């Protein structure tokens, strides 16, 4: 793990830092309530990173702390290698963010709102207004008042505002909110294209399916703490495997499989269903075990019509992780 | 357990996109920030209409009606302009309403980003919050200062070009610009009018005072309509008729006693007075805007801030400026309205009138005494203090 030094890094050092977001022991309290509890978060550069958690887990609070919208009570944090809030201006110069519902001056047009935001950035930001509006697909409505925009259009305008600073890091809090299916598809494609350009996108969302389809890595936050983080593929590799078997005589089939070493293995579970079996295999089970199940059934005179390996989804894994946490507490 | 990620394959973004130095952390706002903030305020149609109506519309409508009335019935309605109208409009309308509209604009500028969710977007740009605050000051002043100037210019133009041609002093047409000797001489020639209409402020110690009751008693206006009556001391009945010399001498004395008031009477405001009044009104508007901005930023709400400013200007300031509260006079002197009233150009009635103007004792009569230095210090303290409070809140507020 690379840890940024506390002294001010040079721009080159900061640019070469491999983490887009790095926090250590980050804590934020609201009275007795600890909204962010010692968060250790590492977001690699150049990827789409999902930040998941149930409602009230502290997702938005962490984002607000990172962006300097509210202060942290303890811990250190770095954005693009720059310590914040000490070098907040340098760090945020290349950060774009949507936090909560994107709201703008309703009496101004979308373009005028972006002009206000561009004026607070470097002079080149003004030239990026048109391309940003075009990229999010609202150029044709750019001169309409924002008060007439739908929620989805405001989301798009929020993303356009993020793009004004030519960001290396985008932090999007629930960007799919208010979008129709086509809009969600557009947003997904845009996020992927931003990542393809070498930018880092941190996506906070409760839409696990969207995160799974968009992100390379995730962190799960619960009760203010990050409980898991890493590449999705690696995280899911540690989950159990489910084998769906469609066969004749499910009860006898269940007895056959349960009597084998496979069925007796720690973490394995065999259940009968009207049309077949469900076999849950422990994490790390090899493909040869699947073939062994098939052989046992066929040798036992069971007709196997279909046999499918089902990898656990992010959603099931998320529920698994969060429910375990609930049980332990 | 927190599992640290093992995703080191992603290459860092090339540093070619590193931000150029743009003094983003500086408290000094860029011209673009000021101009876009100006645009944001200017595009508030309802607010702009209200500001224009109050600063330009009210005096314009008032003067237009007077112009029309005078045009159609000149004997019934006096000229639209003149010094009296000028002083009434400047101190009664532009002074008070200018402050209130400036405060409304300031409170809007201080709270609208927060209320409409733009503050968060602006903070995320990394721009200094202090610069975000400071940008609102020139932007707002660029709106309110010209508005007050336009309203004031209209008042000046009408009051000068539609001024009366004769000066009416205490109901008598008197030539303009006479010296004390000139007024005395004129009074001697118009003794009856002077004796019947001018205020008589002559005591027993005044030379020739003994002749006054005799003269008044014998003057034709006597106790008749419109005449001023000198309370005749006992035993004056049946005195002999005064001579012409005595009558002229009494008129001479009365004119001399009224010269101070007369010297403050003009057909129309002088250029010097208009310049001073204009600057004074602009100062009041600047104070209103800056205080409104600070208060709006501090409490984060426009409506409450505006109500508080109206109460300050319309209720508290007139009371605290004239009441004599034992042991609290120094506290009263910290009221900004009292300080600006003390800086008012001479002759203008202030704080709701009654303190000066025609027939009054000057612009500051009746106000709690305060030196010019103290008044300036109070104004500077209000400007700096409210700016500091508003900026502090903006810098520390959760976005």
Closest Cα in chain B, distance from residue A165 (Å): 8
The 3-state secondary structure of chain B, one letter per residue = CCCCCCCCCCCCCCHHHCCCCCCCCCCCCCHHHHHHHHHHHHCCHHHHHHHHHHHHHHHHHHHHHHHHHHHHCCCCCCCCCCHHHHHHHHHHHHHHHHHHHHHHHHHHHHHHHHHCCHHHHHHHCCCCHHHHHHCHHHHHHHHHHHHHHHHHHHHHHHHHHCCCCCEEECCEEECCCCCHHHHHHHHHHCHHHHHHHCCCCCCCCCCCCCHHHHHHHHCCCCCCCCCCCCCCCCCCCCCCCCCHHHHHHHHHHHHHHCHHHHCCCCCCCCHHHHHHHHHHHHHHHHHHHHHHHHHHHHHCCHHHHHHHHHHHHHHHHHHHHHCCCCCCHHHHCCCHHHHHHHCCCCCCCCCCCCCCCCCCCCCCCCCCCCCHHHHHHHHHHHHHHHHHHHHHHHHHCCC
Closest Cα in chain B, distance from residue A278 (Å): 30
Asked if the C-beta of B205 comes within 8 angstroms of chain A's C-beta atoms, the answer is: no
Q: Which of B11, B40, B399 sits opposite A105 (nearest CB)?
A: B40
The pLDDT assigned to B2 comes to: 39
Closest Cα in chain A, distance from residue B47 (Å): 11
Q: Residue B4 contacts by C-beta under 8 Å, 6 or more apart in sequence?
A: A1, A40, A42, A229, A230
Chain A contacts in chain B segment 9-48 (CB below 8 A): 10-15, 17-20, 22, 24-25, 30, 32-33, 35-37, 39-40, 43-45
CB contact under 8 A, B4 and A230: yes
Residue spans of chain A under pLDDT 70: 1-15, 237-238, 263, 311-313, 320-321, 323-329
Q: Which of A47, A121, A161 sits opposite B7 (nearest CB)?
A: A47
The pLDDT assigned to A311 comes to: 65
Asked if the C-beta of B395 comes within 8 angstroms of chain A's C-beta atoms, the answer is: no
CB contact under 8 A, B22 and A123: yes
CB contact under 8 A, B125 and A42: no
pTM: 0.78
CB contact under 8 A, B6 and A46: no
Domain extents for chain B?
Answer: 29-165+268-396, 167-262
Q: Nearest residue of B to residue A121 by CA position?
A: B125
Q: Which of B4, B12, B121 sits opposite A1 (nearest CB)?
A: B4
Q: Which residues of A touch B112 (CB under 8 A)?
A: 105
Q: Please give the average pLDDT of every successive group of 10 residues along chain B, which has 399 residues.
A: 40 47 82 95 95 94 93 87 88 90 96 91 92 96 96 93 81 83 88 82 63 68 48 51 79 85 79 92 96 95 94 90 82 90 78 41 66 94 96 90
CB contact under 8 A, A118 and B132: no
Q: Which of A70, A93, A231 sits opposite B5 (nearest CB)?
A: A231
The interface predicted TM-score (ipTM) is: 0.78
Domains of chain A and CATH, by start: 11-235 (3.40.50.300), 240-311 (3.30.70)
Q: Which residues of A touch B121 (CB under 8 A)?
A: 102, 104, 117, 161
Q: Which residues of A touch B136 (CB under 8 A)?
A: none
The pLDDT assigned to A14 comes to: 67
Q: B369 to each of A68, A144, B62, how far by Cα in Å?
A: 49, 56, 33
């Amino acid at each position: 793990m690379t840890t940024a030094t506390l002294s001010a890094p040079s721009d080159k050092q900061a640019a070469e830092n491999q983490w887009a977001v790095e926090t250590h022991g980050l804590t934020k309290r609201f009275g007795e309530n600890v909204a962010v509890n010692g968060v250790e978060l590492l977001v690699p550069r150049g990827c789409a990173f999902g930040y998941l958690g149930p409602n009230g887990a502290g997702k938005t609070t962490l984002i607000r702390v990172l962006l300097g919208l509210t202060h942290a009570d303890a811990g250190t944090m770095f954005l693009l290698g720059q310590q914040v809030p000490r070098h907040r201006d340098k760090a945020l110069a290349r950060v774009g963010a949507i936090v909560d519902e994107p709201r703008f001056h309703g009496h101004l047009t979308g373009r005028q709102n972006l002009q206000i935001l561009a004026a607070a950035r470097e002079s080149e930001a003004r030239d990026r207004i048109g391309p940003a509006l075009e990229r999010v697909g609202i150029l044709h409505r750019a001169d309409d008042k924002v008060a007439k925009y739908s929620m989805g259009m405001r989301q798009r305008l929020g993303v356009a505002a993020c793009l004004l600073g030519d960001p290396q890091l985008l932090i999007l809090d629930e960007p799919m909110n208010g979008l129709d299916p086509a809009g969600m598809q557009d947003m997904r494609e845009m996020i992927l294209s931003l990542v393809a350009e070498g930018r880092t996108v941190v996506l906070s969302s409760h839409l696990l399916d969207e995160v799974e389809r968009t992100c390379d890595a995730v962190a799960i936050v619960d009760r203010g703490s990050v409980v898991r983080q890493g590449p999705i593929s690696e995280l899911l590799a540690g989950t159990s495997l489910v084998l769906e078997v469609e066969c004749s005589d499910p009860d006898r089939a269940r007895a056959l499989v349960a009597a084998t070493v496979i069925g007796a293995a720690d973490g394995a579970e065999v259940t009968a269903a009207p049309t077949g079996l469900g076999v849950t295999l422990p994490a790390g089970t090899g493909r040869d075990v699947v073939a062994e199940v098939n052989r046992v059934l066929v040798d036992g005179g069971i007709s196997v019509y279909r046999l499918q390996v089902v990898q656990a989804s992010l959603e099931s894994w998320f529920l698994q992780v969060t429910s375990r946490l609930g049980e332990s507490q | 357990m927190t599992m640290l990620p093992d995703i080191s394959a992603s290459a860092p973004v090339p540093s070619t996109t590193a931000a150029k130095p743009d003094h983003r952390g500086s408290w000094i706002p860029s011209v673009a920030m000021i101009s876009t903030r100006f645009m944001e305020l200017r595009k508030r149609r309802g607010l702009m209409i209200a500001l224009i109506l109050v600063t330009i519309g009210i005096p314009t409508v008032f003067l237009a009606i007077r112009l029309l009335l005078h045009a159609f019935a000149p004997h019934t309605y006096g000229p639209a302009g003149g010094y009296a109208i000028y002083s009434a409009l400047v101190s009664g309308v532009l002074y008070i309403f200018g402050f209130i509209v400036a405060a409304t604009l300031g409170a809007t500028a201080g709270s609208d980003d927060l209320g409409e969710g733009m503050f968060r977007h602006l903070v995320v740009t990394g721009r200094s919050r202090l610069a975000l605050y400071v940008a609102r000051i020139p932007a707002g002043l660029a709106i309110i200062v010209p508005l007050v100037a336009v309203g004031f210019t209209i008042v000046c133009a009408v009051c000068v070009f539609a001024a009366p041609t004769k000066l009416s002093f205490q109901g008598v047409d008197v030539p303009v610009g006479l010296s004390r000797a000139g007024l005395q001489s004129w009074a001697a020639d118009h003794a009856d009018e002077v004796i019947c209409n001018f205020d008589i402020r002559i005591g027993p110690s005044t030379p020739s005072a003994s002749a006054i009751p005799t003269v008044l008693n014998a003057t034709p206006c006597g106790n008749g309509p419109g005449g001023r009556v000198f309370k005749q001391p006992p035993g004056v009945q049946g005195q002999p008729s005064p001579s012409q010399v005595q009558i002229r001498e009494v008129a001479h004395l009365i004119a001399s006693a009224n010269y101070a008031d007369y010297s403050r009477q003009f057909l129309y405001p002088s250029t010097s007075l208009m310049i001073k009044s204009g600057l004074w009104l602009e100062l009041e508007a600047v104070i209103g805007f800056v205080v409104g901005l600070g208060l709006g930023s501090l409490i984060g709400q426009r409506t409450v801030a505006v109500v508080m400013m109206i109460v300050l200007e319309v209720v508290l300031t007139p009371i605290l400026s004239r009441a004599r509260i034992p042991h609290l006079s120094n506290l009263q002197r910290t009221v900004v309205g009292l300080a600006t009233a003390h800086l008012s150009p001479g002759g203008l009635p202030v704080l709701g009138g009654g303190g000066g103007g025609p027939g009054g004792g000057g612009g500051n009569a009746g106000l709690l005494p305060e030196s010019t230095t103290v008044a300036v210090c109070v104004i500077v303290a209000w400007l700096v203090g409210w700016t500091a409070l508003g900026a502090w809140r903006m810098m520390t507020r959760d976005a």
